[in-house]
Chains A and B, each alone.
Chain A
Amino acid sequence: MCGLAPPRPSHSVWEPLTVPSLFVIRGNDQGTRFELNEPTIGLGRDSSNRVQLHDTEVSRRHAEIRRVDGGYAIADLESSNGTYVNGQRIRLHRLRSGDRVQVGRTLMLYTGPAEEGLTDVRQQVDIASPQQTGDRSRIIHSITGEEGSRIFDFEAEVPQNSWLARARSNLQIMYRTALAVSHTLDIDQLLQRIMELIFEWVDADRGCIMLIDPKTQKLEPQVRHVRRSTRADEKITVSQTIVDYVMERNEGVLTSDARQDDRWDAAASILQMGIREAICVPMQGRYDVVGLIYIDTFTTPQDIIHNVRANKFTQDHLKLMIAIAHQAALAVEDTRYYSAMVHAERLAAVGQTIATLSHHIKNILQGIRGGSYLIEMGLADHDESLVAKGWKIVEKNQNKISTLVMDMLTFSKEREPELVPADLNQVTADVIELMQARAEELDVELHWHPDPAIPTLVFDPEGVHRAVLNVVTNALDAAAESPERGRVEVTTEMCAGEGRVRVMVDDNGPGIPKDQIDKLFSPFVSSKGGRGTGLGLPVSKKIIGEHGGQILVESEPNQGSRFTLELPAMMPDNDPSAQTDGPVQDDRPARAD
């Protein structure tokens, strides 16, 4: 029988989090996320600021973040070193998602509230079957992604030297640059690919890409490329004057050393020396110039004599190089921010883990100290009842540390469930029996409704025991918060038709706030204050997930919650040792009935 109890209205679990935040991606506070949830939020070095930064270059009261129609703005409070948004010094700036706020040495990334439009779009766009819509459209032509890249291929009827051919060629090179940029997160590989593309398209002999090292702020060569006919060991020397010009003015340049000066015999000079032409362009990203691309070519005196075209580089080349450099710069910036974010997130996670673990261990230690203190007193006063009382507290805390360690091990281990034929009702009944004492302690009724139709199934009984135990423990704690008498109902059900089996745990606790449901299964986010380890539900989810199942949560404020642990109902195969009726013959001891 399926659906023993009607499902409660559920909150969508995938709803995006809407709290705007500042996330520190560089500086002493790297990895800290400041949630912005008040009308006015101080930012500065002083501890009175909600956004307190441990940065000596930040003023005590440096800036203020103010709520303005649906978002936030940042205002500088006449700080000594100023407030910068996306590299520009600001006095007041309306923040947009993705803005980079720099104060002192600290760099933060702003994430705004979820766009309201998002929910509207969901309501306004549907994916529906043709039967529902009456749509009679059919596919009349299809094209692969690969084919798309041929959009700019030359066609026979376009004369090769026409402006149209050049325009197509330019578009094609931009398209290919965009593709190259989108296909990798490895900066070296990306720059190498871009250099190759440039060489395919322009008659350059040598080229290099230099990036500004974020730490030293100096230009460092990253990629060097030479045409095969050129001597590979030849050193590329780029004029400092050109580099400075390009970086300072953020302009691309086309240079040639062909003498323009009338006072010299230009032709003679060229014949002696040949001509070197170069293009040098800044790599302008979304926020900063991240580096430059340089290419040059050399026309020998012999070539000039033999009438080979001298001016190989044109203004068109320069324009296109600027466009390519911009694409490359965007990719470099994205990659760098991505890595910085990953690093910062990791630091934040490690910090959070250590903070939470030490909090739990501290509380357990406090309990053990309390128990020991009573035992000491009891021994000194020859009072056995006091010793017994102290011992009970010590024992309880021993169990707590054992649970914490077991949860930590289960959570950290990459383990395969030990699948054996077992009885789900028995496993659940064991949990109920084990938790009955705790339920009485909390004055909560614990009821158990097994579905007798559940046959012997294949699953990891120890794992599932732990998963159910953690969910029931949570339910008991939640029910204890109920203003009425606390009540927890545990129900099993077999859905033979769906090939699924379920354990449902209902409580009449205060329910789970909508915005907390998402976080329930994240490790170390306990909403139970000091009682939970913050690992219980993540461990349950991991175990059930390893079985190919899932945990569903339905909750209604002030009415309670239902956790459904859903497992695939795997029947034992025909192996006589795994018969459903006979005793379990396995390496492991059979579970007592």
Chain B
Amino acid sequence: MRPQRSVLIVDRSEDSQEVLRTVLERRGWRTLAARRAEEGLEMARRYQPDLIVLDLELEECPPEDVYPRFERQASASGHHLIALGTVRPRGAGHGHGQFVAKPYHYGPLVRRIEQMLEQRSVVARAG
């Protein structure tokens, strides 16, 4: 049986959180959600999700500061990161981080999430 994958959604928009949680949970994945950067980082440390979907436009933290903090966290714990934003932050798209420009369509975003989680399963099995 494949282990249940978990996705952390860090987004201040209730709508985006609700849509992603609904869609991902229907695919059998566990979801967690946070509205603020600090809260998101804390959850990432505590629950070690397989993937973080991070909207860079958070309150009380400029997008250029949000990305590196989550990128460091992702590198440290080896999980994937998808950043959603208007401007691509420096370094995004390399290593553990990917970038999707806003406004995005949910179909392609969900497919990308699926691919990344699948990739992770393959890596895990190979390991």
Closest A residue, CB atoms, query B84:
A366
Interface size on A, residues (CB 8 A): 22
A476 CB, min distance to chain B CBs, angstroms: 14
- Interface 1/0s, chain A 347-387, versus B by CB < 8 A? 00000000000010011011101110110010000000010
Closest B residue, CB atoms, query A394:
B15
A389 to B26, CA, bound (A): 14
Question: Provided the pairs A377-B23, A529-B59 are in contact, do residues A362 and B102 lie with their beta carbons within 8 angstroms?
Answer: yes
The segment out of B40-48, B65-73, B91-99, B103-111 that lies at the interface is: B103-111
Contact B106 A373 (CB under 8 A): yes
Interface residue A396 (Cβ < 8 Å from any Cβ of B): yes
Say which residue of A359, A374, A530 sits within 8 Å of B19 (CB atoms): A374
B residues near A367, Cβ cutoff 8 Å: 13, 15-16
Interface residue A397 (Cβ < 8 Å from any Cβ of B): yes
Say which residue of A370, A377, A530 sits within 8 Å of B12 (CB atoms): A530
Interface residue A393 (Cβ < 8 Å from any Cβ of B): yes
Interface size on B, as a range, is 20 to 34
Say which residue of A369, A373, A529 sits within 8 Å of B23 (CB atoms): A373
A377 to B103, CA, bound (A): 20
Contact A374 B105 (CB under 8 A): no
Question: Provided the pairs A377-B23, A389-B22 are in contact, do residues A370 and B103 lie with their beta carbons within 8 angstroms?
Answer: no
Most chain-A CB neighbours within 10 Å: which of B13, B26, B60, B86? B13
Question: Provided the pairs A369-B103, A369-B105, A389-B18 are in contact, do residues A530 and B13 lie with their beta carbons within 8 angstroms?
Answer: yes
Quick one: which of A74-132 are within 8 Å of B by CB? none
A-B CB pair tally, cutoff 8 Å: 56
B residues near A359, Cβ cutoff 8 Å: 86
A392 CB, min distance to chain B CBs, angstroms: 9
Closest B residue, CB atoms, query A386:
B22
Quick one: which of A401-448 are within 8 Å of B by CB? none
Interface residue B50 (Cβ < 8 Å from any Cβ of A): no
B99 CB, min distance to chain A CBs, angstroms: 16
Closest A residue, CB atoms, query B107:
A373
Contact B18 A366 (CB under 8 A): no
Most chain-B CB neighbours within 10 Å: which of A47, A365, A377, A386? A377
A528 to B76, CA, bound (A): 32
B residues near A386, Cβ cutoff 8 Å: 22
Contact B57 A393 (CB under 8 A): no
Most chain-A CB neighbours within 10 Å: which of B13, B15, B102? B15
Question: Provided the pairs A362-B86, A366-B102, A529-B59 are in contact, do residues A393 and B15 lie with their beta carbons within 8 angstroms?
Answer: yes
Q: Can you pick out 15 interface pairs between chain A and chain B where the beta carbons lie within 8 Å of each other?
A: A362-B102, A369-B106, A370-B15, A370-B106, A371-B15, A371-B19, A373-B105, A374-B22, A377-B26, A389-B18, A393-B15, A393-B18, A528-B59, A530-B12, A530-B57
8 smallest A-B Cβ distances: which pairs?
Answer: A370-B19, A373-B106, A529-B59, A367-B15, A366-B103, A365-B103, A393-B15, A362-B103
